[in-house]
Structure 1
Amino acid sequence: MSVLLIEPFYGGSHKQLMDLLQEELQEDCVLCTLPAKKWHWKARTSALYFMQTVPTSSNYRILFASSVLNLAELAALRPDLGKLKKVLYFHENQLAYPVQKCQERDFQYGYNQILSWFMPEHKLARLEKVIGVKRNGDAYQSEGLPGQQESRAVMKTIDAHPESGLCEPQPGLCTTQHEGLPSPAAAPVQAEAPERTNPCQGEDKQHLTFNLSNILSGLDYQQRPLHIAWPHRWEHDKDPETFFKVLMKLKEQDLPFHVSVLGETFSEIPDIFSEAREVLGSSVLHWGYLPSKDDYFRALCTADVVISTAKHEFFGVAMIEAVHCGCYPLCPKALVYPEIFPAEYLYSTPEQLFKRLQNFCKRPDIVRRHLYKGETAGFSWAALGSKFRSLLAAEPREDL
């Protein structure tokens, strides 16, 4: 139990990072968590909770936590933990997180991160390697039905298990020692979120299975309409308004396309989703979160283009996953995307995004023949695991 892992919001990429580290460290760690709900409440009060619940041990050497935790408060409340070497992982920057209304910004969450932040360290294998869908000339062959597994945890190798093993880059990693990780550093992909519900999912799950079966075995591959994927959380910071307005414009021009709107839902869903669901109608292949990782990767593997319209992104696991599954990415020429994706995959305005998709709808063969010109191997656990082990194996210094 030399490594103490603390996660106040144990869901999504937060959960998968902790699960991966726990799997790799095995008997050398202890994991303390809170459920993935009421995010703001966890940011305000989790230090007090963990002060009372984290077991004391003389074996702890390192504390690894996400920045949802107010680390400064925990260190003050638990002096024994304050003496440890501390590694704080930032999944996002609360000072820059977009708000729906200017008066809604609560400085407390960014302030928590400032208090906790010390000395930051700056920054398919395609279908058959992902879910057992093999390409046969210009067609796809499905090898069985997708499994009903409970999570999408990152695994060590994509060849050994139908998962991507993708990790986040170093800008999210801060440590109290000068030693750092060469960019990029690891974080995981999506995980189940039991509290996030989608009232439409039951009906559309059947819709997905039926349509994808037809796509995989029926229509000629090159003659199918363009399949667009949007695999993001249903929240305003992912800017679904821009995405759906572009798709509605394609629909108005009677351009053929299919869309899979994936990702998790929270208690509040932007109104644009219900409006878009009605307008897009038969163009929708799937609508909502897929608890089975096999279903999720199967949807990505049958998609041609993956879109991001995010207004706040420090890596974008879902985009890298989709590229690994063979999708052509289209991302804003902003945020972290220019650091990861070559220029041809970036757009500057919604109008540019529309024009790219307009051309792809008319000629889907363009993207289906395209070979991605960037690199994704550097984000895998195979590439980054040794760096994490090295970081978490370092001995604490006396001056910490």
Structure 2
Amino acid sequence: MTVLLIEAFYGGSHKQLMDLLQEELKEECVLCTLPAKKWHWKARTAALYFMQTVPTNPNYRILFASSVLNLAELTALRPDLGKLKKVLYFHENQLAYPVQNWKERDFQYGYNQILSCLVADVVVFNSAFNMESFLTSIGKFMKLIPDHRPKDLEKIIRPKCQVLYFPVRFPDVSRFMPEHKLAHLENLIGVKSNGDAYQFAGLPGQQKSRALGGLMKNSNVCHESGLCEAQPGLCTTQHEGLHSPLTAPERLNKSEASESTNPCQEEDKQHLTFNLCNIWSGMDYQQRPLHVAWPHRWVEAVYCGCYPLCPKALVYPEIFPAEYLYSTPEQLFKRLQNFCKRPDIVRKHLYKGEMAGFSWAALRGKFRSLLATEPREDL
């Protein structure tokens, strides 16, 4: 069995998912991509490009693609691919993506996604909110057509749909997590060793917090906020896709860095960083600055010890317990004000939400099932 993975926007979370699937499937898959640039043009023209570049293979059984690709165009241009089990994955949808004015929404992008859903065999969304916001918007969206509008498209597409959360490979954060939060994190996402799953019990420090999981976000939402506390050693840790919240304090010491004989040398930068950490490590724990962050990746943020403070809207109520949500800007202001006055509330807090369900250990079997099918006689 061969799985054909197609990603028309190979960057960010789109790339992460494809890389994870490719790692899981190994020689069972073929990956075809376009770079993550000018997504508007990728959405318009990627099908024509892949028509010419996707190699023919009689062993193909499944086609997995993100919704950036116009799947209807590709399968029309390549009838051999149209015979496969076609799985379409929605990281976001163009019917609910934020725009300043409904009339400013480009009809073509949403129309492409609707067509792709109609030809797909399985349509997968990364959250229930993403799925419902898409399906329930189809009727209103199609009313933009001046006449001879198609009917009942939601009823046709909905039976194909399911929710499968996005898995994220977390970095090792044990070096800067306080002990009480690290222990709590292990309880939240600790799993027994099984295949590629991880077992926390008895593992050394850096291996304890190796885990997979994921939450989806909408980066264009207003009034997003998160709270993160400064931890000893945090500024010494740099991970791909994970920026240290201590960037601002480092900039405060910019004058000290400029006096270095060669501030571009790695040794000098590390020396400055460690000096900052040494200074903060001598401070009383409760006196250290409380950092307020607006993360684009909310789990990762919670996984790293942040206290989530999210709007009571969009996908957030689906993921976070009610105590982490606010309804109005005034509520946000009051809670931030309280946290600034009492940073110990954040520092002592242990996250009460669910994390294990977003780990690769929990999701791996579902993705494997999604990418499995019985060979068809006409292939």
> Same-fold call, TM > 0.5?
yes
Q: Does 1:72 align with 2:72?
A: yes
2:44 corresponds in structure 1 to: 44
- Equivalent in 266, 287, 296 of residue 223 of structure 1: 287
1:62 corresponds in structure 2 to: 62
Percent identity of paired positions between Structure 1 and Structure 2: 75
Distance 1:128 1:93 in 2: 28
1:6 corresponds in structure 2 to: 6
2:162 corresponds in structure 1 to: 122
1:375 corresponds in structure 2 to: 354
Residue 114 of structure 1: how far off its partner (Å): 0.2
1:63 and 1:137, CA in 2 relative to 1: closer, same or farther beyond 3 A? closer
Residue 100 of structure 1: how far off its partner (Å): 3.1
Residue 162 of structure 1: how far off its partner (Å): 6.2
Distance 1:58 1:211 in 2: 61
CA RMSD of aligned residues (A): 3.4
Q: Does 1:167 align with 2:214?
A: yes
CA contact (8 A) 2:181 2:305 kept: no
Query: Which amino acid is the alignment partner of residue 19 of structure 1?
Result: D
1:347 and 1:138, CA in 2 relative to 1: closer, same or farther beyond 3 A? closer
Query: Which amino acid is the alignment partner of residue 165 of structure 1?
Result: L
- Please state whether the residue corresponding to 2:161 is helix, strand or coil: coil
Q: Does 1:394 align with 2:370?
A: no
Distance 1:9 1:49 in 2: 13
CA contact (8 A) 2:171 2:210 kept: no
Summarize deviations over 1:138-164 as a string: whole Å, max 9, x none. 99xxxxxxxxxxxxxxx9659648665
User: Where do 1:142-221 residues align within 5 Å?
Assistant: 157=198, 160=207, 165-168=212-215, 209=273, 213=277, 217-221=281-285
1:289 corresponds in structure 2 to: none
CA contact (8 A) 2:67 2:113 kept: yes
- Equivalent in 336, 339, 343 of residue 357 of structure 1: 336
| Larger displacement relative to structure 2 (22-31 or 217-226) | 217-226
- Equivalent in 171, 175, 188 of residue 132 of structure 1: 175
User: Where do 1:295-310 residues align within 5 Å?
Assistant: none
Query: Which amino acid is the alignment partner of residue 346 of structure 1?
Result: L
1:76 and 1:91, CA in 2 relative to 1: closer, same or farther beyond 3 A? same
Distance 2:309 2:16 in 1: 25
CA contact (8 A) 2:215 2:298 kept: no
Distance 2:311 2:37 in 1: 29
Distance 2:293 2:62 in 1: 40
Distance 1:109 1:211 in 2: 51
1:263 corresponds in structure 2 to: none
Structure 1 gaps, min length 5:
140-154, 170-189, 193-199, 233-317
CA contact (8 A) 1:138 1:221 kept: no
Residue 90 of structure 1: how far off its partner (Å): 0.3
1:94 corresponds in structure 2 to: 94
Residue 121 of structure 1: how far off its partner (Å): 2.5
Summarize deviations over 1:16-67 as a string: whole Å, max 9, x none. 0000000010110010001111011000000000000000000100000000
Residue 229 of structure 1: how far off its partner (Å): 1.6
TM-score normalized with structure 2 length: 0.64
CA contact (8 A) 2:215 2:299 kept: no
- Please state whether the residue corresponding to 1:393 is helix, strand or coil: coil
Summarize deviations over 1:170-216 as a string: whole Å, max 9, x none. xxxxxxxxxxxxxxxxxxxx976xxxxxxx99x95986947963576
Query: Which amino acid is the alignment partner of residue 306 of structure 2?
Result: C
- Please state whether the residue corresponding to 1:117 is helix, strand or coil: helix
Distance 1:349 1:214 in 2: 40
2:312 corresponds in structure 1 to: 333
CA contact (8 A) 2:214 2:300 kept: no
Distance 1:102 1:362 in 2: 41
- Please state whether the residue corresponding to 2:371 is helix, strand or coil: helix
CA contact (8 A) 1:10 1:33 kept: yes
Query: Which amino acid is the alignment partner of residue 292 of structure 2?
Result: I
- Please state whether the residue corresponding to 1:353 is helix, strand or coil: helix
Residue 375 of structure 1: how far off its partner (Å): 0.9
Distance 1:206 1:397 in 2: 65
Residue 226 of structure 1: how far off its partner (Å): 1.6
Residue 132 of structure 1: how far off its partner (Å): 2.6
Residue 78 of structure 1: how far off its partner (Å): 0.3
Distance 1:163 1:221 in 2: 26
Distance 1:350 1:162 in 2: 35
The count of aligned residue pairs is 270
1:137 and 1:108, CA in 2 relative to 1: closer, same or farther beyond 3 A? closer
- Please state whether the residue corresponding to 1:115 is helix, strand or coil: helix
CA contact (8 A) 2:8 2:46 kept: yes
1:81 and 1:91, CA in 2 relative to 1: closer, same or farther beyond 3 A? same
Residue 101 of structure 1: how far off its partner (Å): 4.3
Q: Does 1:342 align with 2:321?
A: yes
TM-score normalized with structure 1 length: 0.60
Deviating runs (4+, > 6 A) in structure 1? Answer: 205-208
| Larger displacement relative to structure 2 (57-66 or 159-168) | 159-168
1:108 and 1:28, CA in 2 relative to 1: closer, same or farther beyond 3 A? same
CA contact (8 A) 1:164 1:324 kept: no
Residue 390 of structure 1: how far off its partner (Å): 1.7
